[in-house]
Amino acid sequence: MKALFGKNRVCGVVAGETARQMKAQVGAGLRKTRTLELRLDYLRGAKERQAFLSWLGRTRPRAVLVATCRRVEGGGLFQGSRGEEIAILAEAVRSGCGWCDVEIETAKHFSRGELARALSPARVMVSHHDFRKTPRGLAGIIRRLERPGGQALKIAAQCNSVSDSVRVCELARKRRNVVAIPMGEFGLAGRILSLRMGSALAYAAVEQTTAPGQLSLDQMADLYRGGRITRRTGVYGVIGDPIGHSLSPLLHNTAFQTSKVDAVFVPFLVRNLREFLGAMKGFGVAGLSVTIPHKETILRLLDECDPLAARIGAVNTVVVRGGRLYGYNTDYVGVLRSLQERLRLAGSRVLLFGAGGAARAAAFALAQAGSMVCISARRAERARELARAVGGAAVERAGLKTEFFDAIVNCTPVGMHPCGGSPLESAELNCRIVMDMVYRPRETELLRLARRKGVATISGVEMFLAQGIAQYEIWTGKRAPENAMRRAVVSALSREEKSGGRRS
């Protein structure tokens, strides 16, 4: 069946204040896709709109162009009347736009067929935007969008849970003329996965974001390969809170692309774990990476668990088989691979700072390798409980300045991008090696303190790569393309360092 908007369902959003900015963005967008939305309401005044549309009429880019001049009433920036909006869109049609997006606040004032005649020969998309919530009656909204007689229907709604995101995306499952757009942090994964569920378009910003949670066109086209997503594409993801810092999508999407596996890996912001596990079936999720703060909590919600992960009491990897959830722990592998190349673990004395899910994996791994495991944590009772579980010892924070260890491992998120900071002071780093599980930034403040003190360091990148490689092999049953995965992550972190810590 022929796609409604042509072969490129990833739509680059062009939004600038001046004709010059818009022209530059059109050029940049066409390097990634052949479908562009032109936000004419972002142009500052009639003079800039006229200049841009005149240029557009002369150049006639070979692309599917969707003209939008959304009024303030419909969530846009245009302050003119309905009549002025339609007049601008009609001019855009004469300049080569094959589609016009008209918000329902304007479209509802036109009788069936009247809007199509006013904007002929372009086709019309009628849109509804809710920037506060995902409405309950989505089916009723679809019926209202149908009344003006457009060829495509668009619903964009703010999502306050992953369940909301699934509900929005499901509108596109049975109708080829629906554009489904989950908005906000909870809707980020759904913006990508809507393509898998049949959405006619997914929007991504060429330069300036125009809606909450909107991805950049570079991310949508290159990182997530949105243009190649079909209903057969496998779905994997990382769940956590926060989740924006994670490089897991880069790690695993690189692996899928290198190995030519038809799958996509997306980030899910998850606050209510039980709600997410119920909703994820709607997206067809086949596997998960689990990060803070869910590694321990998820154990109680699985159908089955690997014996080692059960002993550790934390899971960072989930596989879905026949609708059942199976848990594993690959942090265990990550810790061992990171430390054993630099330190003889048998007989060593290692301090773990922290007592959460990652610390539990490290404690069991090191104890199994013959290390004397010491635990120090903000909550002393948790430190004592974990120390008892591995036959180790709890150490009070106050005593760290007088203790010596072969290695100290930070198992807390302190120091993570973008917050920074160090969980320990220089005077507490009395050891041969300091390892930080935080991998972003590659050199944390803790590692800088250790290096200035002459202590050897191990970046969290090593553990991140090792555990991620093990995850990929569990999910796919294939050998991971380790070199490609390492190059992608190290390159991204290096670019970030050069840009002064800004996200790449």
366-400: pLDDT as tens digits: 999 999 999 999 999 999 999 999 999 999 999 99
The confidence score (pLDDT) of residue 245 equals 86
pLDDT tens digits, 125-178: 999 999 999 999 999 999 999 999 999 999 999 999 999 999 999 999 989 999
pLDDT at position 502 over 50: no
**DSSP secondary structure code for residue 290 in this structure:** E
Q: Is the Cα dihedral 264, 266, 272, 275 positive or negative? A: negative
Out of 245, 252, 295, 417, the active site residue is: 295
Q: Report the percent of the chain where pLDDT is more than 90.
A: 95
Q: Report the percent of the chain where pLDDT is more than 70.
A: 99
Catalytic (active site) residue 453: no
Catalytic (active site) residue 133: no
CATH class of the domain at 237-331+466-486: alpha beta
Q: Is the Cα dihedral 146, 149, 154, 156 positive or negative? A: negative
CA distance 222 to 31: 12
**DSSP secondary structure code for residue 108 in this structure:** T
- 425 Cβ contact list (under 8 Å, min separation 6): 449
pLDDT at position 83 over 60: yes
The two tokens of residue 210 are: 């125009």
- Chain centroid to Cα 498, Å, comes to 23
Cβ atoms 475, 467 nearer than 8 A? no
Instruction: With cut-offs at 50, 70 and 90, classify the pLDDT of residue 453.
Output: very high
The two tokens of residue 79 are: 């302050």
Cβ atoms 224, 302 nearer than 8 A? no
CA distance 360 to 446: 21
Out of 41, 164, 331, 406, the active site residue is: 331
| Average of per-residue pLDDT across 289-308 | 96
Neighbours of 91 (CB within 10 A): 19
The two tokens of residue 302 are: 């699985």
Domains 10-231 and 340-464 fall in the same CATH topology: no
Bridge partner list, 64: 35
The two tokens of residue 253 are: 């999407």
| Average of per-residue pLDDT across 479-503 | 88
CA distances from 350 to 353, 400, 418 (A): 10, 12, 28
Chain-wide mean pLDDT for the chain? 96
Catalytic (active site) residue 331: yes
Three-class HEC string of 357-420: HHHHHHHHHHHHCCCEEEEECCCHHHHHHHHHHCCCEECCHHHHHHCCEEEEEECCCCCCCCCC
Out of 32, 129, 294, 417, the active site residue is: 129
Residue 96 backbone zone (phi > 0: left; psi -120 to 50: alpha; other: beta): left
The confidence score (pLDDT) of residue 504 equals 35
CA distance 335 to 466: 8
CA distance 340 to 366: 10
Give the start-end residues of each E strand in 150-210. 152-158, 178-183, 202-205
pLDDT at position 98 over 90: yes
CA distances from 222 to 16, 203, 227, 235, 249 (A): 23, 14, 9, 17, 11
| Average of per-residue pLDDT across 349-375 | 97
Residue given tokens 């048998």 in the structure block: 346
pLDDT tens digits, 181-211: 999 999 999 999 999 999 999 999 999 999 9
Catalytic (active site) residue 498: no
Look at strands 405-410 and 99-103 and give their pairing: unpaired
CA distance 504 to 502: 6
Instruction: With cut-offs at 50, 70 and 90, classify the pLDDT of residue 417.
Output: confident
The confidence score (pLDDT) of residue 503 equals 41
Biggest CA-to-CA distance, the chain: 83
Of residues 337, 341, 380, the one with CA closest to residue 467: 337
Q: Where are the domains of the chain?
A: 10-231, 237-331+466-486, 340-464
Give the start-end residues of each E strand in 399-479. 405-410, 431-436, 456-458
Neighbours of 347 (CB within 10 A): 10
pLDDT at position 308 over 80: yes
The confidence score (pLDDT) of residue 173 equals 93
Residue 409's φ and ψ, nearest 5 degrees, are -120, 120
* CATH number, span 340-464: 3.40.50.720
Look at strands 123-130 and 99-103 and give their pairing: parallel
Out of 128, 154, 252, 294, the active site residue is: 154
Neighbours of 344 (CB within 10 A): 12
The confidence score (pLDDT) of residue 2 equals 66
| Average of per-residue pLDDT across 251-271 | 98
The confidence score (pLDDT) of residue 78 equals 98
* CATH number, span 10-231: 3.20.20.70
CA distance 229 to 3: 13
Strand order in the sheet with 456-458: 393-394, 372-376, 349-353, 405-410, 431-436, 456-458
The confidence score (pLDDT) of residue 492 equals 95
The two tokens of residue 94 are: 């004469």
The two tokens of residue 429 are: 């780093």
- 314 Cβ contact list (under 8 Å, min separation 6): 295, 296, 299, 329, 331, 356, 357, 358, 360, 361
pLDDT at position 264 over 60: yes
pLDDT tens digits, 208-225: 999 999 999 999 999 999
